[in-house]
Amino acid sequence: MGYLCDFCGDQRSLVYCRSDAACLCLSCDRNVHSANALSRRHSRTLLCERCNSQPAFVRCVEEKISLCQNCDWLAHGTSPTSSTHKRQTINCYSGCPSAAEFSSIWSFFLDIPSMGEACEQELGLMSINENGNKSDLVPPEGTNLSGSSQVTDLPTKGKFWAGTSSIPVSDSEPRILDQLPEPGNECMPKLNCPGKKVSGICEDDNLYDDFIMDEVDLELENYQELFGMALSHSEELFENGGFESLFETKDMSASAGESHCQGAVAAEGSSTGLVNAIQPACSNAASADSMLSTKTEPIVCFTGRQSQSNISFSGVTKDSAGDYQDCDASSMLLMGEPPWCPPCPESSLHSANRSNAVMRYKEKKKTRNAGCSVLFDDHIRIVSLNDGQLCQSHHQKPLFEKKVRYASRKARADVRRRVKGRFVKAGDVYDYDPLSQTRSY
DNA sequence: GGCACAACTTGATCCACAGCTTTAA
DNA sequence: GGTTAAAGCTGTGGATCAAGTTGTG
């Protein structure tokens, strides 16, 4: 990745979106992440000003520069003089903050020349309606809105707490980016989502600066293997298998997961039992909690009208499922009536119920997909198989296998105009514009 | 228990198009 | 064998439909 925005390729990239694995300028960041409720939940952070490719993790007060973990170590871990520099952790943000809100998130915001300037130019010209988005400015739970928690005299050696996350981050040595996590911590880094009990999506809360998609993918695949088949099988896969066998097994496990969901509820018990068996292996209780909250979709099954019954959802009770629905996407889709609907007349009760049911389904589907999505870049492929091998046929996709493999395509699709859900030619009349959400007629 | 119907769930399909792969020159 | 151009293929999200499943009388 270079200095230019991954999306427009024009402006200088300033922020990094982990969910999209993309470096964006402020304008595109705002456009892309205001497209829908889910994208607004993507957590972003500053881009490392040294390597311009990794998310920044600390800001050096002395040098007034934001650095990723590797650059931080290179800058401060090797020199006795620079290791005494005061550094602040940099927190993530979500939603579509204004310049003022940026300043409140990062006290040093306006100290960044390119930021302040870009902010004036870009945010000042924003056409996106900010109404209703204030609440989208949601720092990860537990996050101090001051944004940068002071970690004066950040120890260069040893452990410290990165930002407000509850994850101890070792700074003892620079991480090799392709390095797999240590076995002992394998489940922790990607599964620990402090405070997010029922979000269903863990993507946003990581403050892991050695975050790389290869690693995540491996762990997600591992997850599917864990829950789709016996644990020993997955271990065998990692020992014997390259990625190809991994992918083959992924499909199998996905199918197995589906058969669980479609079929006998009794199977849930065994799956849940597996989860319980795994839990103690996670040293961090929050990790286990997050594991349940983020990835239990294939385990908890909904058949027929069970969604209306008192069934637990992703390991939470109906009540907490209500909390789940309170997150922005759900609240919009579940609670809101379409604006053109009359306010609950008796005659429309039936259709309202019907549309609510469809909304419920769509929300569930969206959550399910989001929970297992892994973003790749068009130019970075994990394996050099052609697409046909990765997924034999568009129509033979195993259920629950939805994975976003190409972030750039997703980004395009996210902003593409549609008519009744179908893409329309550029310039044609459309009835849905994800960017402006206005009608063309 | 079996039937009919309503309500609900869910997979398949469609669209445009950028970017990738394959093939031929 | 290496390069280039053209053709074909793939994947992306939302709306819609139809088929399947479940609940009720």
The protein footprint on chain B, as nucleotides within 7 A of a CB, is: 7-22
Contact A33, A26 (CB under 8 A): no
Closest nucleotide (CA of A395 to C1')? B12
Could you tell me what percent of chain A has a pLDDT over 90?
0
pLDDT score, position A363: 62
Q: What is the pLDDT of residue A40?
A: 72
Which protein residues have Cβ within 7 A of any strand B atom? Answer: A 258, 261-262, 302-305, 307-308, 350, 353-354, 357-358, 360-361, 364-365, 378-379, 381, 384, 386-387, 395, 397, 399, 408-409, 412-413, 416, 418, 421-427
| Whether residue A28 has pLDDT greater than 60 | yes
> Phi, psi (5° rounding) for residue A27?
-65, -50
Confidence of residue A354 (pLDDT cuts 50, 70, 90): low
Residues A288-317 have a mean pLDDT of 33
Q: Chain-wide mean pLDDT for chain A?
A: 50
pLDDT at A420 over 80: yes
Distance from CA(A176) to C1'(B7), angstroms, rounded = 55
Separation of A9 CA and C1 C1' (Å): 35
Rounded, the Å distance between the CA of A50 and C1' of C25 is 71
Confidence class for position A26, pLDDT limits 50, 70, 90: confident
pLDDT exceeds 70 at position A345: no
Distance in angstroms (rounded) separating the CA atoms of residues A233 and A225: 8
Interatomic separation, CA of residue A15 and C1' of nucleotide B3, rounded (Å) = 62
